[in-house]
Chain A
Amino acid sequence: MPDLILSGVSKSFGNTRAVEATDLTFAEGQLTALLGPSGCGKTTLLRMIAGLEDPTRGTIRLGEDDITDLPAHKRKFGMVFQSFALFPHYTVRENVAYSLTIGGIAKPEALEKAQTLLDTVQLSGFGDRRIGELSGGQRQRVAIARALAQEPQVFLLDEPMSALDAKLREEMQVELRLLQQRLGITTIVVTHDQREAMTMADTIVVMSNGRVEQVAPPKEIYHKPANAFVADFIGKANFFDGEYRKGAVNIGSFTVDVPANFATGSPVRLAIRPESACLVAERGQNCIDAEISFVRDLGPVREYHLRTDIGPLIVEYAGTDGMERVAGDKTLVHLPVEALRVYPRAVA
């Protein structure tokens, strides 16, 4: 199966640019997540790949073939929609068989093939049911089976979990990923849920305001976010604004050593993940006085909300740090140099 390649693809609606010129390669057999807040253009991008929207500029290639001008019904990329879009006037089996029956395959054969697919998604006995009788999770499986019936080269999913309740969502993320790996099909998932992206994807494309912010595997996105937006969107981060000065950043009257190089005096934004900071007893490099304002014990993690002179800060421990601390306690917080990320800051 060939790679899917986007070159310079952009989309404008009238005067609004929904998607900026984008170059992306979706390697065959990989699951890529398009991740971003609502309105960032990820769904528009997916629809252009599906052929449901035409790019204002740019080309889309599947291997050697230019498919930019190919209409959706000729591309035949299997797609699962946010609302699942199951046909209420067909049974479950007829829904799954739809692409086959209109493709000219004889009805009995098509229905047989549909049954096989239903077995794959563990809905074997549901073939004769009506869509209205199904639960959200069952509908999702039907939608998946239906999209895969035509054995597409690319599998597209638009926020496939949003119609499910939270517990089911987590289960289905794992299941869908396992299914995709078994089939080895090139898959693109649009989502606004970063946990979903982290669970399922080989590569994450983080988008904001129509622009691609970072393209990388989940671990890299988490530990090496390319800019402040990505750092904030994925996981949690503490942010501080200051000015860079010779290997350190001045935040107010404090100086924090950083592993970065900027022009002297340039405004920067520091980011550090809550689990990377820690509370210490003895002063060392990058230690700041802090007072605990709130303790949030969630079971598997414990958060300490701190007030410091450089601003509020949250420190997270897995389980507990062994210390009994309460609100009001004074302590020291240590910001390890290697855990700090520094980004340029635009001054208003």
Chain B
Amino acid sequence: MTIADDIDVTAVAPKTPVRGMTLKGVLYGTLSTLMVVFCIVPFLLVIVISFGRKVDGAGWVWAFTFDNYQRFFVGILWPDEVTFLYLQQLGYSFYFAIIASVLAVLTALPFTLLLTRLKRSKQAIWLVFILASLSMSEVFIVMGWDILLSNNSGLPKLFQVSGLTQWLKDVGWFQTLRDIGLANPRNVKFKPSEFATILTMSYLVWPYAVILLYPALSRLDPSLSEAARTMGASRWTVTRTVTLPSIRLPLMGTTLLLFVFLLGSYVSVSVFATPDKQTTAVAIYSNIRGSNLDAPFGSAQAVILLISASICLYFGHLLNSKAEAR
């Protein structure tokens, strides 16, 4: 084969693609329009309105001012007075969301591992149960835990009646519970408290954690752990050195997804969190449709929340590609 062979004198003309209105072209066009209109415009609106200005009487006008953002970071009376209230709210959003999502994933992990080792038919039954629990929306869950944790007819009552409260007092742990706000002088008190908020949020996303971890865990190759065991590794060592490293990625990915979802959690916080520990999501609600009605400021808060969530997602994506590159 010489170079001359490549210069083909009688070369066949390259195929020209058929132009014009193909069905695929129409599909692409329609879908693109749909996506832009419905998926991008709403977000754009929020961003644009965040630069607007509120007028008296629950209205607002188009404007271009950074006042709302300034207010978010340092308070409305800056530079006379500085308040970090809104930043604090964002902080609590993160605080609750991180702990709840990590807790959910940590408890869902062993469960899902065990689940994937069952026979397929048993797995199906468990999956129906898990999926059905997803049908409980946040309102029902909060309702349920509200009853469970209520002082008169829930767990605190149970503690009292069963003598557990007395036992705690005797052992001396009761004082510790009082110190962290989980008890008043007479009995344990579970709500409102950080504990109740985080518990409910964690419970809310637990089934999602199972479902998100399920594909990765069901693909684990048992022969790898079997090989490790024949080389003398105990069950815990196998988990630590073989199983966990291989699922590090789905684990982090799931935690990240759940964290972002929980950033927007509203009902759990408004019912179970003490007034001094409210989150940005609650504030947004009251600004847009609730008691305050300051749409531009609410939008600004929403934008900040969105940006925070996107930053976290971006870091997750970075970690993902870094791990895949290795």
Contacts and interface: CB of A to CB of B under 8 A. Distances in A.
A/B contact in complex, CB under 8 angstroms: yes
B23 interface: no
A20 B5 CA distance: 11
B15 A57 contact: no
Contact of B8 (A8, A54, A68, A69): A8
B11 interface: yes
B15 A54 contact: yes
A218 to B, nearest CB: 28
Most A Cβ at <10 Å: residue of B1, B5, B8, B12? B12
B8 A20 contact: no
Contacts of A68: 12
Interface residues of B, number: 6
A59 interface: yes
A58 B12 contact: yes
Interface string A81-98: 000000000000000000
Contacts of A230: none
B11 A57 contact: yes
B12 A57 contact: yes
Interface in A178-224: none
Contacts of B1: 20-21
Interface residues of A, number: 9
A54 B13 CA distance: 13
A8 B1 CA distance: 12
Contacts of B15: 54, 69
B3 to A, nearest CB: 13
B258 to A, nearest CB: 36
A8 B5 CA distance: 10
B5 A21 contact: yes
A69 B13 CA distance: 10
A59 B12 contact: yes
Interface in B136-179: none
Nearest to A20: B1
Interface string B1-41: 10001001001100100000000000000000000000000
Interface in A1-16: 8
A179 B1 CA distance: 40
Interface in A59-76: 59, 68-69
Most B Cβ at <10 Å: residue of A8, A20, A54, A68? A8
A68 B10 CA distance: 14
Contacts of A58: 12
Contacts of A21: 1, 5
Contacts of A20: 1
Contacts of A8: 8
Nearest to B10: A8
Interface in A29-76: 54, 57-59, 68-69
Nearest to B8: A57
Contacts of A54: 15
Contacts of A69: 15
12 contacts: A8-B8, A20-B1, A21-B1, A21-B5, A54-B15, A57-B8, A57-B11, A57-B12, A58-B12, A59-B12, A68-B12, A69-B15
Interface of B: 1, 5, 8, 11-12, 15
- Top-5 shortest CB links A-B: A57-B8, A59-B12, A69-B15, A68-B12, A57-B11
Given A20-B1, A58-B12, A59-B12, 6 more contacts: A21-B1, A21-B5, A54-B15, A57-B8, A57-B12, A68-B12
